[in-house]
Structure formats: structure tokens, C-alpha cells
Amino acid sequence: MPFGDFSDRKFRKQSLNDKVSNLIKRVRELSFREHPQDMSNVYDDIIGNSFISPLDPTVVDPSAPTFTGVAIGAKGWTFGGVVHNVAGILSGVMQAGFNLLGQFVWGGGVGTLDANGMSIEVETTYADERAIKFVEGSTIRSAVYGDGGSGINFASLTVNPVTGEESDVLVKAFAASGEVADARLEAEVQFGLKNILRVSNTDTYVNYNAADVDTIIRGSGADIATFDAGTKVQANEKGMIINNGGTGTPIATEGFFQWNTTTKRMTMYDAQRDRSLSSIGWTPSALPLIYDPSAALTTAYSLAANGGTLVIPMKVTGHMLLQGVTVRNTDTGTARSWRWHLYEQYLNNGNSGENTLTRIESGSGNDSFTPAGAASNRTLNGTGAPTYLAPGVYWLAIQNVHATSTFGLASTAVGSSAFAPNSAQVKTLTVPLGSTLDLVAATWTKLVDIYAVRMNGRVFGQTTAF
């Protein structure tokens, strides 16, 4: 029934009191229509399409560019291409609004909160006004900042200094019993890693180096440059790089170490000098661990046909580029054939699993020959020559691979067998030897003699053995 129409039957049947109350209510509604800014005397529900409260009574359209005020309506008004049903508007710009889709917009459209989460439009500079801040009064204790459009897409989780308090940034991951908890810090450029962790002593981020692809750890700034001479400290899936730029200048801080690109060695400062941690130069040859250069080496040690194998510990005193192996054969006739295999003890933990060693190189095929009436030196290069060997002890296996002939290996008996250390061990094994070799299994026989065996290395950048 329209306002002012009292002719309907329902109204006529009302009591006098009801009629008076209904009349007062409708007068109030008419009064509110004429004076929407005055709601002090309205206590009942307000029902209508919209409620508009303008600051300037002459500008009542919320979408007008000069409108300032509050608007509420079921149909809403469009701001920034989105309909909002509740809006606080300043000079035609919605400062905060809400709509029936559950979107809440604030800060003049800077922030949006909806079912998809919270979004904040970034600025082109690092700015406090577009940050999530944790404050104590006017003091910003910590904040999350973000900006973009300045050549780098930037975000920062910052804890600000507070006098008398430590600062901490903590990332935690908890998992239920039996589950896995991971805390990760990752950066990715399409399918390549980039600067997963970067440490700097300044707030300048524009020194970002786009060439540092696959860098997991990158340090920059004056403090770090004091120990890496302005170059890089890097670690990736291949290892770690510490480079002093080849200056050779010691890092005058005890315990610091570096790689010198001029001398090609790792060094550490011991508070007095730069001490080398790595061996110098290339080793031209390696001999058995038990060896006497003055030994006559005229006695034949006979390796059994078809698999007789002698294993000797070889001492590599420095870095070595293994070219091949030389042995002295004492046979003077009849066809002979031999081959060598080099094994390394990987584990080095003193446990029983070290009984099986891993082959790291072998002779390039078999050396088959017929002696020309006298003892001779036989040399067989490696399959992958040169093979790099780090300083240490390796186990060289010399195997007779001839089906019917023995192989005479030159040797010398030790002067006193009463206190002679074991120098080798021997066993007949399947031809050829495999990629691993068990040096503890039964039937190995220990020996104490000196054997004419030598590993040959490259030096001076040559492509042949020294």
C-alpha cells in the first residue's frame, strides 16, 4: 500500500491505537525521505533500494566524480570495473568497499581481500605505505614489503632494529609424527636455479648480477669482499668455489681459506702465513708403497697362467695424471699376455664394507707379446688416459691373462724376512677382472718381496708419460 493511502480494508479494521501508531510510522518514513541526513528519530527497519549519505547534498550520485560520502545499495555502483554494494567514496574515488561476492577493497583500491586471499598492488619503489606492518605505537617492528617495475621484482621480510633487543627471522615447518617437515628457500628462473641465498652488507639490491645462473650461495658487499677479493663465493650442485682472483695476497684472518687461481692451490691463513692445503705440481711416477730403488729386480715371480693376479699398494705422493703402467718381465721366450687394473678404497671408515674396492682405471686392452730372448720392460697405457689421481694409496692389480703361459714379474727378496712388512698379495682370479675387487676373500696369499711395477704420469702439459 503506498504512503498516504489509508483506504484499504485492513487499515479500516485496525483499532484507533493501531491506526495512530501506523500513521506515526509512515510520517516518520516520509520525514526520512525528505531529510535523509537526520536519522536520530528513526528506530525501525529501513527498507529500500539504496541508502546514500552525501557530504554535499547537491551531489547525490555516488558515481559522480565530485561525490564524497557513503553509499549502500543492493544494486551497487561500479568502481574500477567491479560492482560494490557498500562504498566509502572521496571525490569520486572509492576508498573502501564491499560487494555481494565477498570482496573487500581498501586503500583506494590498493588492497583486496576475498576468497582467493589478500592482494596488495605494488609500487615502483620500496615503500612503507604498501607493507604489512607489525607495529608498537608509531614504531614499525617488522614488516613485509614489496615493489616492482624498477627492473626487479622485489619482496622483503624485514625485522627492524630495536634498542636492547636482538632481531630474528624464523621460518618453521612442523609435521605430524611419521610425516616429513621441510623448510625451503628457493629461487627459480624458468627451469634454472638462481640466487637461492644471497648475503649482502648493504641495502642495495640493484647490484644483482643476471649472469649468475645456477648460483645457490652468492655473497657481495664490502665485508665479504675482504675475504674473496671482490670475486665470488659460490656453491652449486657441482661443488663450492672460493676465489681470491689470483692475487696471491694472504687473507689476514686466521682460519680463512681460499683458492688461488695463479698457483692453482687451496690455502689457509694460520695467523702468520698463507699455508697450502693442497699438493704442488704433478707427480711424474708412483712406485709401490714398499720399494727400494737399489733393488736388483732380477728374480722372477711367476704369476699363474689364466688369472694369476698380484695386487700391490701404490703410493701417489701428489696430484697425478696417470698415463699408464710399466712392469719388468723376466721371460725370454714364448708368448705372454698381461693387463693391469687400478682400484680405490672409497669408504675409508674402517668398517668391514671396505673389503671390496672400486676400479677407477684399467689398461687399454691386453699387452700380448713374445719375448725376444731377454727380460724387458712392458708398458700399457690406460683406457681413459690421462686419469687424474689425488694423493693417496691405490691398489694396482697385475693379471696374467695368457691361457697357458706364466708371467715372470721381476722382483727382489727383502734383506730380512723376520721384520718385513707385507708388500703385496696374490690370487688366481677370473679373466678379466671386474669393476670391483674383494681383497679380503679367502685364498689371498700375502707377500713380502719388492716388485718391478711403476705407474707413469704426465707432466709439463705433455700428452705422453714423463
pLDDT of residue 221 exceeding 60 = no
Burial 237-260 (b: 16+ CB within 10 A, else e): eeeeebbbbeeeebbeeeebebbb
Confidence grade of residue 243 (pLDDT, cut at 50, 70, 90) = low
More confident residue, 218 or 392: 392
DSSP string of 413-428, one letter each residue: --S-TTSPPP-EEEEE
pLDDT of residue 204 exceeding 70 = no
Around Cβ 143, how many Cβ atoms within 10 Å? 16
Q: What percent of the chain has pLDDT over 90?
A: 44
Segment 186-190 mean pLDDT:
55
Say how far apart CA 290 and CA 446 lie, in whole Å. Answer: 13
Which residue type does 268 have? Answer: M
Which residues neighbour 353 within 8 Å (Cβ) at sequence distance 6 or greater? 347
Which residue type does 370 have? Answer: T
Segment 7-34 mean pLDDT:
62
Look at residues 340, 341, 424, 406 and name the one whose alpha carbon lies nearest to residue 379.
340
Say how far apart CA 383 and CA 361 lie, in whole Å. Answer: 7
Which residue type does 257 have? Answer: F
Confidence grade of residue 174 (pLDDT, cut at 50, 70, 90) = confident
Which residue type does 225 have? Answer: A
Architecture of domain 285-457: Sandwich (2.60)
Which residue type does 135 have? Answer: V
Helices (H), 50-192: none
More confident residue, 8 or 160: 160
Around Cβ 426, how many Cβ atoms within 10 Å? 20
Beta-bridge mates of residue 157: 144
What pLDDT sits at residue 256? 76
Q: Lowest-pLDDT range, 53-62, 184-193, 194-203, 353-362?
A: 194-203
User: Whole-model pTM?
Assistant: 0.55
* Top-ranked range on mean pLDDT: pick from 187-201, 235-249, 389-403: 389-403
More confident residue, 237 or 406: 406
Beta-bridge mates of residue 88: 70, 96
Q: Lowest-pLDDT range, 224-233, 299-308, 427-436?
A: 224-233
Element (H, E) at 325: strand 320-329
Say how far apart CA 381 and CA 376 lie, in whole Å. Answer: 16
What pLDDT sits at residue 454? 98
Confidence grade of residue 23 (pLDDT, cut at 50, 70, 90) = confident
Say if CB 398 and CB 312 are below 8 A apart. yes
Burial 2-19 (b: 16+ CB within 10 A, else e): eeeeeeeeeeeeeeeeee
Confidence grade of residue 43 (pLDDT, cut at 50, 70, 90) = low
Residue for grid cell 565530485: 66
Each domain of the chain, given as residue ranges in start order, spans 9-115, 128-159, 188-276, 285-457
Confidence grade of residue 378 (pLDDT, cut at 50, 70, 90) = very high
What pLDDT sits at residue 207? 33
Look at residues 326, 353, 355 and name the one whose alpha carbon lies nearest to residue 343.
355
Cell of 464: 705422453
Segment 190-216 mean pLDDT:
41
pLDDT of residue 122 exceeding 50 = yes
Beta-bridge mates of residue 63: none
Look at residues 131, 160, 129, 125 and name the one whose alpha carbon lies nearest to residue 145.
131
DSSP string of 355-375, one letter each residue: GEEEEEEEBSS-EEE---SS-
Cell of 288: 709401490
Say how far apart CA 200 and CA 208 lie, in whole Å. Answer: 11
Segment 181-205 mean pLDDT:
52
Length of the chain: 466
Chain-centre distance of CA 200, in angstroms? 18
Beta strand 217-220 with 197-200: parallel, antiparallel or unpaired? Answer: parallel
Which residue type does 61 have? Answer: D
3-state secondary structure of 344: strand
Confidence grade of residue 127 (pLDDT, cut at 50, 70, 90) = low
DSSP string of 39-64, one letter each residue: -TT--S---SSEEEEESSTT---TTS
Confidence grade of residue 90 (pLDDT, cut at 50, 70, 90) = very high
What pLDDT sits at residue 211? 40
More confident residue, 267 or 129: 267
What pLDDT sits at residue 157? 84
Rounded to 5 degrees, φ, ψ at 11 are -70, -40
What pLDDT sits at residue 453? 98
Cell of 210: 643476471
Q: What is the DSSP letter of 196?
A: S
In a 13 Å sphere around the CA of 375, the CA atoms on its Cβ side amount to 15
The pLDDT mean for the chain works out to 80
Confidence grade of residue 308 (pLDDT, cut at 50, 70, 90) = very high
What tens digit of pLDDT does each residue of 382-434 get?
Answer: 999 999 999 999 999 999 999 999 999 999 998 777 788 999 999 999 999 99
More confident residue, 279 or 187: 279
3-state secondary structure of 83: strand
